[in-house]
Structure 1
Amino acid sequence: MTNPTPAPTPSVTVTRTWTCVLFDLDGTLTDSAPGITSSLARMFATLGLPVPSPAQLLEYVGPPLLESLQKFGGMTEPASREALAVYRADYAKTGALDSAVFPGIRGLLERVHAAGIPLALATSKPEIQATHILEHFGLAQYFDVITGATEDESRSAKADVVAEALRRLGERGVDLEHTVMVGDRQYDVEGAGAHGLPTILVEWGYGSPAEASGAIAVVHSADQLSALLLG
């Protein structure tokens, strides 16, 4: 991916006490790009289409895939749905668990959970897959709510996923007054911002420096993120 001119990195001085934290999955908790891009490459090949370069395939990681297939792949809506079905079949068999938890993330979730701060997952990945991945890596236990896209993509935009996560948390009586989103892409910033929520971006994900615009902070390690979430 060609990185635009870097935007100024927001200060990492955040003093607010958070009552709830929403986490993105791909690029934030797990390094899932290898499984996603390999399944995408096989999808393009299966459909008889040119396979994009590794850098181009990485652009698909993060946003709702149906949207990316139309934006980056130039597909029509019907063609993108056909491609999505091919991708999901391949990803379910070979790609979903071709990922790894980023260093320090397990300990971070453990500490935030132990501090009594409710956690929710808000990902554009299908909810069934996201739940399976968290369970596989032993991370599901830390989350009060796991929210993802619906299978028919009627809920896939990050703003819609965040809305559903907040709804479920509210039903559980969670204090949402000071909620923060943690993600790695501009889609996280925009999706959370649609509901008036601030976002902390992680540098270890798949976004470019320019995507930090609008975030309240950018962190380079799980320890630094822990300090911002727990004080």
Structure 2
Amino acid sequence: MTLSLPRTITHVLLDLDGTLTDSAPGIIASLRAGFADAGFAVPSAEVLRAFVGPPLGASMTGIGFSRADAEAVITAYRRDFEVHGMIGGNSVFPGIPEALAGLRDAGVTLLVATAKPQPYAKQIAEHFGLAGYLTGGLDGVHGAAAESAGLVQGKEVVVERALAHAVALGADAGQVVMVGDREHDVHAAAHHGVATVGVAWGYGAPGELETAGAAAVAATPEELRKLLTN
């Protein structure tokens, strides 16, 4: 089911990986290290790329890993990611700062809702200057909380928390929109009755966002700004 965009958009929940930042190089390199260090064969480049964006626990389950094996790989992955991949293999997509500034200046409240663990999300938002565009700065970053040694909450839980924050800031839930690059962004938002604008520069497969039910897909950050303010 495709949810239509509200006539007026006042609050926007932003995905991080593949939407604001080009994090795939660092994530994939650290995943390779994580699988190898945990004693498992490293999956193909295609499989590893599909890991970028969704919760890692769900991706591990998708390739048949048990919870224990998934935790082992994710724990090893994070050791490498914290040192090498989080900042060194990451960058902000061109045009994103300008689009965020335009949305902020138009009076749109901006929050982050990402499946990335919240401590990592906050470090990334601070390092790359993204927090300055968010309402409340780093308090506007909503990431996943740990459930066990290696696994974290799903995107639906993160969207729920970010949506509650938006409502606490005065949003009518019917005027909130999610922005993301993968189908799990669309599904998580729809679970809470929130429409999604997809972004074409991220890591989704061709047609993935449309099939998932995105209300619209922006080809560029400037087009995203126009969709959310017109």
Q: TM-score, normalising length from structure 2?
A: 0.90
AA aligned opposite 2:187:
E
Name the amino acid aligned to 1:149.
A
Mind listing any 5+ residue stretches in structure 2 that lack a counterpart?
none
**Conserved? CA contact 1:14–1:228, under 8 Å:** no
Q: Residue 150 in 1 paired to residue 141 in 2?
A: no
Q: Find the partner of 1:205 among 181, 185, 202.
A: 202
Could you tell me which residue of structure 2 aligns to residue 6 of structure 1? none
* Alignment-derived partner of residue 94 in structure 1: 84
Give the letter for the 1:218 counterpart: V
Cα distance in structure 2, aligned partners of 1:203 and 1:169: 25
Identity %: 43
Of Structure 1 and Structure 2, the greater helix share is in 2
Question: Partner of 1:180: helix, strand, or coil?
Answer: strand
CA RMSD in angstroms, aligned pairs only: 1.8
Structure 2 CA distance, aligned partners of 1:15 and 1:127? 28
The residue number in structure 2 matching 1:34 is: 25
Give the Cα–Cα distance (whole angstroms) in 2 for the partners of residues 162 and 181 of structure 1.
Answer: 9
What is the aligned length?
219
Aligned to 1:48: 39
The match for 1:126 is: 117
Higher alpha-carbon deviation: 27-36 or 152-161: 152-161
Cα offset, 1:69, TM superposition: 1.3
2:68 to 78, 89, 93: 78
The secondary structure found in structure 1 opposite 2:13 is: strand
Per the TM alignment, residue 28 of structure 1 is displaced from its structure 2 partner at its CA by: 0.4
1:171 deviates by 2.6
Query: Is this contact kept in 2: 1:19–1:177, CA < 8 A?
Result: no
Shift of 1:15: 7.5
Moved over 4 A (4+): none
Could you tell me how far apart the structure 1 residues matched to 2:145 and 2:24 are?
A: 21
Aligned partners of 1:155 and 1:161 also within 8 Å: no
Given that 2:12 and 2:108 are in contact with CA atoms closer than 8 Å, whether structure 1 keeps it comes out as yes
